[in-house]
Structure 1
Amino acid sequence: MAVVGSVVAAGLTSGVAQAEPEWSPAPTPRVDMKPCNDVILDFDSKIDARGGGSAARELECATIEVPMDYAVPDGRKIEFTFSRLRAADPEKRRGVLMTHQGGPGQGSITYPLELANRPIREAVREYDIVSFDYRGTGASTPLNCPPTSVPYPTVTGTQKVDFDAGFDWTSQANKALVECEPEYVRQITTPNIARDVDRVREALGEEQMAYYGVSYGTVVGMTYRAMFDDKVSRMWLDSILDPEFRDGSDYVSQDALSRASNRRLFAYLAQNQRFYNLGDTEESTRASVEKIVDDAESRYKSGDTVLMRNDILSLLLDQPAMAARSLLTLRDGQLPSKLIPVEGESNPLFSDDKIDSKLSGSNESYTPVFCALAEGGRDADDVWNRYMEWRAETPADNLVIERVPSSICAGWPFSTDRPDWSAAGKSSPLQIGAHRYESTTPYAGAEKARIILNGSLFTTNDARHSASIFTECGAKRISEFLQGSAPYDSECLAREES
């Protein structure tokens, strides 16, 4: 897919004004930075396997001790490991750019190398790029809890029985996780991670830092800014999470996304009638799509390949050209590649097995972080009753995926720990990058974040997650911002080339 685009900004008629560079010599750190292979076991071999590029040998690492519980600063200590890729030219250094690539449930130690090989490389190499494995992950003190051995139940419908099966399984998995290491689990929260990050700033001898984060990295960023606003020089957050989101209610934003994606698809098909022959108005293309979906649902109700209606509807969330090709394949009696089962894997796309992966394997830290951030989701009756109220108020649409609510925080015993956004710091320059049709962090959350956090919104008209960096206009805007331009509202008119 080729992506082209241009930027439209309110009130701007020419190029973006750039501030004069303020070069900042590196202060003497208060921590001993070493080659990462001296700090992290087999680090070089891991980097070689991932293709670290020419900058890989320049990456330095260090480990500092931080309180496990900041309310008991003299109590148990844990290790917090971070990395640094120095600015390409020490004489033209802007300071530190703290970064995180997202998750939660994964480290970010090698992220500076990735950014140094992306389209924004020239801008980020004007900084010392720093990243970290947050508490519970990677080279920092791990959360050593075994995954549950009980498989996640098969959920094929959207009724109460399906909801109860998933909720009960998750509740038992959460109970086992908490019992494994209760004191540490309780302290794996985003505010504590933000405090750890500020200890890194102090260890590097910096007065302020810039910040670039994507996905869960946006949560770390907005929390750090809320708690340490005066320590932030500027911040870009891409694919930001709704600051006020609730667990067990993602069906609201996903329903809105599905309807918006459908409207985009119907308009695209009508505009390209000569290619697809599915109608020349949005109404007629909708009717054609509905017939294709209905026919496919009937065709795959039994036999070697069985598909649920939701599986078929998931195709409509793709970029319009890809969705159109899938629809034509279905119309011709064939299965689109996306719906062809892979031997040994469960089929297909619409399932809650993502919850299983987040609660097991190497991602034990996912749930403590998520549930410290999320309101709700703990009580089954509350989650289901909210869902039923929403269904009663929401018009039905048989081309919209119907979802049973899922609660990652089922039975979670600890309360939410996130900033009071109304009282949080919000004066440092904040640019939010958002993607109008993406499903992981829906666009509605970015619109709320813009207001709640007092930021500016850069919108890319695509469906990719954390991907402003991959469009020409997005990379240009990120670079301008990191090199000193002010935040402002604008839109990247990226379009998919069919």
Structure 2
Amino acid sequence: MRGLPVRAGKALAATVIAAGSIAGLLALTPLPIADADRSAAPDLSRFTSQQLTWKACDVEEIDKAGAQCADVTVPLDYSDPGGRTMTVAISRYPSPDPGKRHGIMLSNPGGPGGAGLDFPLTFGAAMTPDVRAQYDLIGMDPRGIGRSAPINCEWPEGFGLQSAGVDAASYAESVTRQADLALRCANTEGDRLRHISTRNTARDMDLIRAVLGEQRISFFGTSYGTYLGSVYTQMFPERSDRIVLDSAVDPARYGAVQMVQDMGPANEAVFGSWADWTAARDSEYHFGTTRDQVRDSILGLVRRAAEQPIVIEGLAVDDHWVPMIMFTGIDDPRNYGPVAANMRTLADAAEGKAVQPDPQLVKDLKFILRSEPADNSGQFAVMCGDRAVERDPTWYWRNIEAARAAQPVFGAFANNITPCAFWAPPLEDATVVDNSVPTLIVQSTGDTRTTYANAEGMHRALSASRLVTLENVAIHYIFGRYPNTCTYAAVNDYLRTGVLPAADMTCQAD
């Protein structure tokens, strides 16, 4: 660990003590623990016999597509099906040719915390007409998200992930902030938090299957949705039909620590590609004519924001958030221009110049810094409810410092502490995924969110799976987002026939 300034060292020490107190408070909060043995199937007859009321979704693009929505009543706690309940909102996009219908396909757009009522509009558009005809596509807002009794911790800021900043004083601010976010969730949501988990969402999916009168479900998930899909196949293998996992999480590394750590090297590599692209356009963006010059310019901007936050339309952007603006954009090479323009806006504003920021940048900053229109606390309810993490703030600090040399832009983000360090322990152990349900995994080699190594981990965990690799493309989520003839054909062929490719396959960019 590098030497700490006296001010920073004292701030860090004080914060660690305070954070430890909050962690202890949360650990001792009297929240009910479910029965340790959940192996016995609960009696869910009061739920499986319910009749759904289908109605307009009141979302223009969903209603135009001919879909309808319904609320499904589910147990809050599956170990106590006679206890409290909650509702899960689903959408149904019926097969355009019922005579060719094969079954239902549930879906999840990722996050965790992504609302999914409109998700079938995206991946459904990538299906060929004959494949689309085989399925009623089912969108779902998972429990605690969107219209499904959403978690709302009343965070003052919107985003739970942030960079640790440039030094120990900045990291101390992160520790204090993350502890405060966790405490707000405990105070506002209480014991309900501990039932917002992937295992319970998988149980909800199987309950939805039963309510809809189906024997099996097909599934399309991307990003976190791939973990949800794999947990479903582990818990309900005999009810799993055609499963597609696009941009996969390694189930052994899923959570608020390892999965995020994996993003550091991947984003740093893609930053290099973005820096090359930007350097070739120095006359427009003025960050330098080489990759190293562009990197130095961006790191200088982060340091400047630490000394004096950059103000964009009244929103103060400091060293915790400058890297996150890049992170949210470089998961798609088609966004390199907007990312460069946003960074130029920040640099100009830091120099006191008048700027006209892109409206999307302002919208993103309002979400991050002001929790507008809502916070992202549901994401952490899921992640923290799924897997316990290291609680010692000094452990994260050591990882941050160790990562800075190889990951100067994103290491402080990928290794930073999160609210999960101050969360009450999960009710259940994390799911060990290890099964032979036939599954198609689709992954790009340059994915910055769920890395290619994560997809390989999922491939190993699902022994009967096939892996379709999109080579030399840095894209997160392919089918329905990034047109590619080869990968689209592989997905459609599998969904059409239910037969996986004979072997793993590699695709190239069109």
Corresponding position of 2:186? 178
| Corresponding residue number in structure 2 for 1:462 | 473
In the alignment, structure 1 residue 432 sits paired with structure 2 residue 434: no
Cα drift, residue 324 of structure 1: 9.7
- Give 5+ residue unaligned stretches, structure 1: 1-28, 38-42, 278-285
Distance in structure 2 (CA, Å) of the matches to 1:379 and 1:324: 39
Show the counterpart of 1:494.
Answer: 509
1:221 counterpart residue number: 229
2:182 match: secondary structure = helix
Report the Cα distance in structure 1 between the residues aligned to 2:89 and 2:309, rounded to whole angstroms: 50
Provide the C-alpha distance between the structure 1 equivalents of 2:160 and 2:221, rounded to a whole number of angstroms: 31
Tell me, what secondary structure is at the counterpart of 1:483? helix
Q: Equivalent of 1:472, from 463, 471, 484?
A: 484
How many Å separate the matches in 1 of 2:457 and 2:372?
29
User: What SS is found at the alignment partner of 2:385?
Assistant: helix
Give 1:92 deviation, angstroms.
0.8
Per-residue CA deviations over 1:391-446 (Å, capped at 9, x if unaligned) read 4xx8x34875442523231311123745442xx45222111122222222222211
Deviations 1:33-91 (A, max 9, x none): 44422xxxxx33xx22xx347533xx233323221111112111222222222212121
Contact 1:255 1:401 in 2 (8 A): yes
Q: Does 1:290 align with 2:300?
A: no
| Contact 1:79 1:141 (C-alpha < 8 Å) held by counterparts | yes
Query: How far did residue 290 of structure 1 move?
Result: 1.7
- The AA in structure 1 aligned to 2:437 is S
Q: Distance between the aligned counterparts of 1:311 and 1:150, measured in 2?
A: 16
Moved more, 372-381 or 185-194: 372-381
- Verify: 1:254 aligned to 2:254, yes or no: no
Q: Which runs of 5+ in 2 are unaligned?
A: 1-47, 283-287, 312-317, 350-354
Secondary structure of the residue that 1:181 maps to in structure 2?
helix
1:124-139 correspondence runs (5 A):
124-139=132-147
Q: Which residue of 2 aligns with 1:370?
A: 383
- CA drift of 1:141 comes to 2.7
Rounded to whole Å, the distance in 2 between the matches of 1:419 and 1:206 is 28
Q: Which residue of 2 aligns with 1:15?
A: none
Q: Is the 8 A contact 1:63 1:81 kept in 2?
A: yes
Q: Is the 8 A contact 1:248 1:383 kept in 2?
A: no
Aligned-residue offset at 1:227? 0.6
The 3 A distance-change label for structure 1 pair 249 and 187 is same
Q: Residues of 1 paired with 2:392 and 2:232: CA distance?
A: 29
How far, CA to CA, are the matches of 2:334 and 2:68 in structure 1?
44
Secondary structure of the 1:466 match is: coil
| Higher RCO (C-alpha under 8 Å, 6+ residues apart) | 1
| TM-score for the superposition, normalised by structure 1 | 0.72
Q: CA RMSD in A?
A: 4.5
Question: Do the aligned partners of residues 418 and 74 (structure 1) sit closer, same or farther apart at CA in structure 2, a change above 3 Å counting?
Answer: same
Q: Report how many aligned residue pairs link the two structures.
A: 432
State the shift of 1:95 in Å: 1.0
1:410 aligns with 2:421: yes
Q: 1:438 to 1:338 in 2, by over 3 A?
A: farther
Aligned-partner Cα distance in 2 for 1:430–1:471: 21
Are 1:451 and 2:460 an aligned pair?
A: yes
Using the size of structure 2 for normalisation, the TM-score is 0.70
- Would you tell me which structure has more helix in proportion to its own residues? 2
Task: Classify the secondary structure of the residue corresponding to 1:130.
Answer: strand
For residues 52 and 431 of structure 1, the distance between their equivalents in structure 2, rounded to whole angstroms, comes to 27
Give the one of 165, 178, 199 matched to 1:191.
199
Give the 3-state SS of the residue equivalent to 2:140 in structure 1.
Answer: strand
Task: Indicate if the aligned counterparts of 1:106 and 1:363 stay in contact, CA closer than 8 A.
Answer: no
